[in-house]
Structure 1
Amino acid sequence: MRNPARRLLILLIVLLMTAGFIFLGYFIPRENFWQTLLVFTLLFGGMIGIYFLSIKPKWGWVFVAGLLFRYALLPSIPNWSDDYSRFLWDGELVKMSENPYLETPEEWLQNHPESLNSYLENLFEGMNSPQYFSVYPPLNQVIFYVAAWGGNLNQGSGIVIIRIILILGEIGVFFLLLKLFDHFGFPANRFILYWLNPLVILEITGNLHFEGLVLLLLLASLYALNKNRSGLSGGFWGLSIGMKLLPLMLVPTFFSFAKTGRSNLFWIGSGIAVIAGFIWLLIDNSWIHFFQSLKLYQGKFEFNASIYYLLREIGFWVKGYNIIGELTPILSGVALIGILYVTWKKKPQNLLQLVDLWVLIYLIYLVLQPVVHPWYLIPAFGLSLFTDKKAFLIWTFAVIFSYQAYGDPTYQEKPIFLFSEYTLLFLAVYWDYFRNMDNLNKLSNGS
């Protein structure tokens, strides 16, 4: 960074990227896919450019640049997702001391006309699934309540409050990455790939998704484990489950890892955290509706899938109808078997091997799912920076092709874009996991 020309070039890229985030956040509608693709590609290229120009960066300027990108989006209305309407709706119900799991928004409107106001009506109009019970765990509801309380019936204020909470979580991710990369001796510029990544910024800060908090808690669990604080590590992992259920699939890895498998403190800590996160679902038997919505979500929605879409087409050919109801549980079972197999096969001996196994488990799960929203990639991508695997980094770019569906009036996904996305992904998966195996086979055959 001593070269003035290099510093000037990096500053120019940062300013241009800031403009790009502003364009995506405020001026380019999600229906305009080609403009979105162009600006997103330039943002991704800018991040890669900064990565290669910053061989030994000082973390301070990288931190400020990432904050600049995030704060540029602070007052924006989420562009690629309308989930925020449900976040604020649930928060308003909690603020009124009502249970957000007992009634769907449609039922609530019918049963509580005396509590209805124009703000709730507007939130209802913007909601994508008003006929479903809330699918967000109690820890999410705490954040929704804070947003409702501080927003005071103002949508913009509620969005900003959630966004600030998520940015604070992202700051935590940055410093944990900094600490852990330093401990493991990784190159100093590696955290640029997360902190300046356009998908991470747009999906967490821009669209208010909570995967950044999941990554924060998983990194905190890893950091505590590195410090031999097993109980604390288990607690952070348990909280990550409370934020999003998906980290629950890491259970087999903790059993196979000696440092946690034989640690009573780890399992006590995780148990306390999981109980604290989900005990509220026992109130009024809320868990029934919560898991009912999860089941409906798993068996009804389709978006940006890979293997599932191929098998679904076979189902159309053989049976003449969409076999999602039959296929989803089968693929979930295959994912479980795959997770158990790779955990048994790899048997991690240290923290880096443990994280490498986590990344593989996320990959197995996601390629078998019928719904793969772009923000689902973020925890696995952050963890993949502790490995030599590049698949999730490539996917954080390739997944932008999935948003072609928003440019279609009927939200129809075009096969050519799905093919482009997953071709890039599976080429990267081959490079990460199978190329060396081919080389070993050639060597063994040659000998």
Structure 2
Amino acid sequence: MAGILFFLAQVPREEFSLTFLLFSLAFAGMVGLFFLAEEKLNFRSVLLAGLLLRLAVFPFAPQWSDDFVRFLWDGELLKIDQNPYDQTPREWQEANDDPDNSYLNQLFDNLNSPDYYSVYPPLNQAIFWLGAKASKCFVWNGYFTLRLILLLGEIGVFVLLWKILMAFQLPIKRIFWYWFNPLVIMEITGNLHFEGLVLLFLMASIWAIQKGKLGLSGGFWGIAIGMKLLPLMLAPAFLALGKSRKSVWFWVGTALATLISFTPLLIEHSWVNFAQSLKLYQGKFEFNASIYYLLREVGFWIEGYNTIAFLTKILSLSTGILIGYFSWKRQPKSLFELVDLMVLIYLVYLILQPVVHPWYILPALGLSVLRGKMTFSLWGFGAIFSYQAYENADFQEQYLYLILEYGLVVLGIYLDYFSKKMKPHRHIEVT
């Protein structure tokens, strides 16, 4: 697998056929390891094997995403005491154009969003700053530093997954679905996406609940919110769980961590531009969607144009209603029922979103490992079909690949939620 990932990390996303072939081989390798592995596994051996796979992609620049350029750009602004939320890159470049600053000029020329304010929360910006400080005006140094930080986060995820699986006497080889997963390795270590850190703090929150440290659990959840905002949608799940709902310390920990995380947005009214970018993102972009695309076609048929502005509002409202309903209906009484609900919330959100990049599914994939559910494991393979769009100059998606991807998702939903052969899971009270 390491050899396959070594070559996969060098393949541009525009070469979909080769990307799909190598990814499929790596995914098959993971599945093979899962079925061949014994129930008793050595912690150090599994840890080192996963690290070896990640080190195989370490030397190469991200090939599937250019978001890391914005990470380094924002970090460079912070390094020179500039506010990355104050101006768009183009506005900053026009006001501060320095022909001698070849590094910033190089970053600007490779940005994919020079006309948008930064959409990355302050905790992300702190990590970007570390990458910029270590870069010494060399891109490789910058993304190497970010990669090292994300790798440390991945080790943390591995340790927490192992501890939780061991504590509840669950099959330890379930960890393979995350630790050896080529999508996880490529999107986090390879392409520098921060969903691995989000998962780290969600796992830490779950582990702290299991240990009865409710204030700490709330704090970890607050940090996860500070990393990506999206974990805020898990609030109904924590409200539905009696132990967290009744704990003042849980909510104090959450409030403190969240407030500290977002306080920098109060500087120079940064929150205004930050919120503007979030709003723009929700009402303008579309990629690799499912239900949204079906409704969009209905909108074309009825109205004769793309009704994205209307649909995003309706789908956002529907997402909130469904999350609230499932949280009220399920009322988790055990730690794993809470995890089940968290995974379901992510599923509802992603199914109704107009933009679903492959790395968006990774926190839910990691959480679902604890329950042995298949939806996100199957989606972890199906997500590779979304990269087909990049082989076209206009990023045109083909419905065949969308059908293949979401066909696997539907299969997973059937197996996890509707199959009569579902086995009952261990019930562990936490209330």
- 2:250 corresponds in structure 1 to 266
**Shift, 1:427, TM fit:** 1.6
Whole-angstrom distance in 2 between the partners of 1:53 and 1:424 = 23
Whole-angstrom distance in 2 between the partners of 1:376 and 1:124 = 25
Contact 2:62–2:190 (8 Å) recurs in 1: yes
Whole-angstrom distance in 2 between the partners of 1:395 and 1:348 = 25
1:29 paired to 2:12: yes
- 1:141 corresponds in structure 2 to 125
- 1:171 corresponds in structure 2 to 155
- 2:66 corresponds in structure 1 to 82
Q: Match for 1:299 among 262, 278, 283?
A: 283
1:363 paired to 2:347: yes
Partner secondary structure for residue 113 of structure 1? coil
**Shift, 1:391, TM fit:** 0.3
Whole-angstrom distance in 2 between the partners of 1:306 and 1:65 = 35
Partner secondary structure for residue 436 of structure 1? coil
1:46 paired to 2:29: yes
Which digits, 9 at most, give the CA deviation of each residue in 1:10-63, with x for residues without a partner? xxxxxxx1111111112x221111111111001000001111111222122221
- After superposing the two structures, state which structure 1 stretch, 172-181 or 182-191, moved more: 182-191
- 2:357 corresponds in structure 1 to 373
Against the structure 1 CA distance between its residues 358 and 115, is the aligned structure 2 distance closer, same or farther, given a 3 Å change threshold? farther
For 1:210-359, what aligned pairs fall within 5 Å after superposition? Answer: 210-359=194-343
- 1:5 corresponds in structure 2 to none
**Shift, 1:117, TM fit:** 1.1
Against the structure 1 CA distance between its residues 438 and 239, is the aligned structure 2 distance closer, same or farther, given a 3 Å change threshold? closer
What letter corresponds to residue 132 of structure 1 in structure 2? Y
Which digits, 9 at most, give the CA deviation of each residue in 1:199-249, with x for residues without a partner? 000000000000000000000001111111110000000000000011000
Structure 1, unaligned runs of 5 or more: 1-16, 440-447
**Shift, 1:407, TM fit:** 1.1
- 1:19 corresponds in structure 2 to 3
Whole-angstrom distance in 2 between the partners of 1:434 and 1:53 = 28
1:71 paired to 2:55: yes
Contact 2:161–2:370 (8 Å) recurs in 1: no
- What is the total number of aligned residue pairs between the two structures? 422
What letter corresponds to residue 111 of structure 1 in structure 2? A
What letter corresponds to residue 341 of structure 2 in structure 1? L
Whole-angstrom distance in 1 between the partners of 2:110 and 2:70 = 8
**Shift, 1:193, TM fit:** 1.2
Contact 2:174–2:370 (8 Å) recurs in 1: no
Whole-angstrom distance in 2 between the partners of 1:62 and 1:39 = 22
Which digits, 9 at most, give the CA deviation of each residue in 1:244-295, with x for residues without a partner? 0110001111111111101000000000000010011000000000010000
Against the structure 1 CA distance between its residues 217 and 332, is the aligned structure 2 distance closer, same or farther, given a 3 Å change threshold? same
Whole-angstrom distance in 2 between the partners of 1:168 and 1:406 = 30
What letter corresponds to residue 348 of structure 1 in structure 2? P
1:188 paired to 2:172: yes
1:117 paired to 2:101: yes
Partner secondary structure for residue 84 of structure 1? helix
What letter corresponds to residue 364 of structure 2 in structure 1? A
Whole-angstrom distance in 2 between the partners of 1:98 and 1:183 = 47
What letter corresponds to residue 34 of structure 1 in structure 2? S
Percent identity over the alignment is 55
Partner secondary structure for residue 287 of structure 2? coil
- 1:10 corresponds in structure 2 to none
Whichever structure has more helix as a proportion of its residues is 1
Contact 1:238–1:274 (8 Å) recurs in 2: yes
Contact 1:109–1:116 (8 Å) recurs in 2: no
Against the structure 1 CA distance between its residues 322 and 437, is the aligned structure 2 distance closer, same or farther, given a 3 Å change threshold? farther
Whole-angstrom distance in 2 between the partners of 1:208 and 1:331 = 29
Against the structure 1 CA distance between its residues 314 and 288, is the aligned structure 2 distance closer, same or farther, given a 3 Å change threshold? same
Whole-angstrom distance in 1 between the partners of 2:402 and 2:105 = 36
**Shift, 1:436, TM fit:** 2.9
**Shift, 1:388, TM fit:** 3.7
Contact 1:258–1:349 (8 Å) recurs in 2: yes
TM-score of the aligned structures, taking structure 2 as reference length = 0.96
Contact 2:415–2:422 (8 Å) recurs in 1: no
What letter corresponds to residue 207 of structure 1 in structure 2? N
- After superposing the two structures, state which structure 1 stretch, 239-248 or 120-129, moved more: 120-129
What letter corresponds to residue 201 of structure 1 in structure 2? I
Whole-angstrom distance in 2 between the partners of 1:272 and 1:157 = 34
Whole-angstrom distance in 2 between the partners of 1:294 and 1:318 = 28
- 2:426 corresponds in structure 1 to none
Contact 1:90–1:145 (8 Å) recurs in 2: yes
